[in-house]
Structure 1
Amino acid sequence: MNNILEEIAKNDKKVFKNFFDEHYLELVHYANGYLFDKDSSEDIVQEIFIYIWENAETLNITTSLRGYLFAMVRNKCFNYLRSIKITDNYQFLDFKNELITEYVFDTVDEQEKERVYHQTLKVVDALPDKMQQIVKLKFMHNYKYSEIANELGISINTVKTQLKRAKVRIIELVVSILILLQIYH
């Protein structure tokens, strides 16, 4: 594999194209497992290939080149997820623990937990507006049911119903992600 890097360092476009064609789709699929966004996954993988093209002569890879590619994709995905996280100020760790830890979470490693956590954040942000407000008030601001009801001008029963529906949606996604993680391992 280091021969490939040596050839790429010599600006051998044919070797680079073959290298790209051999790994691109698999890496996009892998990135999409973290991001659930094909366009962003493709962008990240393309950035990695550009980086390799531009830095091949200075790269010192001590593992396999394939392993290095997957590690780069994983790390870039985590960095991307951190960069789009608009909820830093809302103490999402409490939210994550409240919603997820009671489920199959003990069976996955820390990186997979972080991946599920970021997907959960995306699900919350995709909930209908009123449901999203209720979830954020409850789990990020620790409001009581009555405080949420007063704040939004709705009944306590509506608050409870919306939280139950949100929890079902979020848990369905988390279970789906955990099943996918088990399939790929």
Structure 2
Amino acid sequence: MDPNKTLLEIQKQNHFVFKRLFDQVYGDLVHYANGYLFDREASEDIVQEVFIHIWEKANSIEIKSSLKAYLYAMVRNRCLNFLKSLKITDQCNVLEINTVLINDYDLEPFPEEDKKIVYEQVLRIVDTLPYKMQLIFKMKFIENYKYTEIADELGISVNTVKTQLKRAKFKIGQMISTILILLASQY
């Protein structure tokens, strides 16, 4: 169905057309949102909120591009608002990771709340690393272990510790770059 006709049918409260639109794009929108949030449940919630908004406000929606582009823009904006609303607790002084990991990125032009978003996402990214890599990373940057101490405690070589940390830093760096691009696009 033509996207313009889809919106017209939704404005007429056509449940069948709305459900079909939902079924067609829900999974892609959740995947898109998860690229911002790294949290599947929060991504699903945001996409559902977007669909609720579409259903409830269909008569006042004016789309200048395409319905699909409109949905993606709504999801992106709600994700960024969600990220800005996060309150960060730093019980382990994880924000000190900034001096080790984020020195490669110039965060000075960003407001404090955007820096907090980056830090929160670093914490989430760390939680998605493979278990052993996550453990090594936390031992090094949170508990301030030395390479040899980590190697001894985990029964691995110092080279393995360094390799795991290098891989972790690379993965985190990729995600931080994406987040910074998204934040910069808001200014």
Task: Classify the TM-score, shorter chain.
Answer: 0.5 to 0.7
Select between 149-158 and 35-44 the one with higher mean Cα deviation: 35-44
Q: Please state if 1:156 is matched with 2:158.
A: yes
| Equivalent position amino acid for 1:78 in 2 | S
SS at match of 2:145: coil
After superposition, the Cα gap between the structure-2 partners of 1:43 and 1:139, relative to the gap in structure 1 and judged at 3 Å, is same
2:134 counterpart residue number: 132
Structure 2 counterparts to residues 1-185 of structure 1, below 5 A: 35-37=37-39, 39-41=41-43, 43=45, 74=81, 78-79=85-86, 82=88, 88-185=90-187
1:159 is displaced (CA, Å) by 0.5
Instruction: Verify the 8 A CA contact 1:138 1:145 in the aligned structure 2.
Output: yes
Q: Give the fraction of aligned pairs with identical amino acids, expressed as a percent.
A: 51
What is the CA–CA distance in structure 1 between the aligned matches of 2:83 and 2:177, rounded to whole Å? 24
1:39 is displaced (CA, Å) by 4.0
SS at match of 2:104: coil
After superposition, the Cα gap between the structure-2 partners of 1:109 and 1:32, relative to the gap in structure 1 and judged at 3 Å, is farther
Instruction: Verify the 8 A CA contact 1:124 1:132 in the aligned structure 2.
Output: yes
After superposition, the Cα gap between the structure-2 partners of 1:38 and 1:150, relative to the gap in structure 1 and judged at 3 Å, is closer
1:176 is displaced (CA, Å) by 1.2
After superposition, the Cα gap between the structure-2 partners of 1:38 and 1:184, relative to the gap in structure 1 and judged at 3 Å, is farther
Q: Which runs of 5+ in 2 are unaligned?
A: 1-10, 12-29, 53-76
Instruction: Verify the 8 A CA contact 1:32 1:41 in the aligned structure 2.
Output: yes
1:112 is displaced (CA, Å) by 1.2
| Equivalent position amino acid for 2:81 in 1 | R
1:101 is displaced (CA, Å) by 2.9
Task: Write out per-residue CA displacement over residues 126-156 of structure 1, whole angstroms, 9 at most, x where no aligned residue.
Answer: 0011110100000000000000001100000
What is the CA–CA distance in structure 2 between the aligned matches of 1:152 and 1:177, rounded to whole Å? 32
What is the CA–CA distance in structure 1 between the aligned matches of 2:116 and 2:105, rounded to whole Å? 15
SS at match of 1:122: helix
Q: How many residues align?
A: 142
Instruction: Verify the 8 A CA contact 1:35 1:119 in the aligned structure 2.
Output: yes
> Considering only aligned residues, what root-mean-square deviation do their CA atoms show, in Å?
3.8
1:181 is displaced (CA, Å) by 1.6
Instruction: Verify the 8 A CA contact 1:127 1:166 in the aligned structure 2.
Output: yes
Instruction: Verify the 8 A CA contact 2:83 2:117 in the aligned structure 1.
Output: no
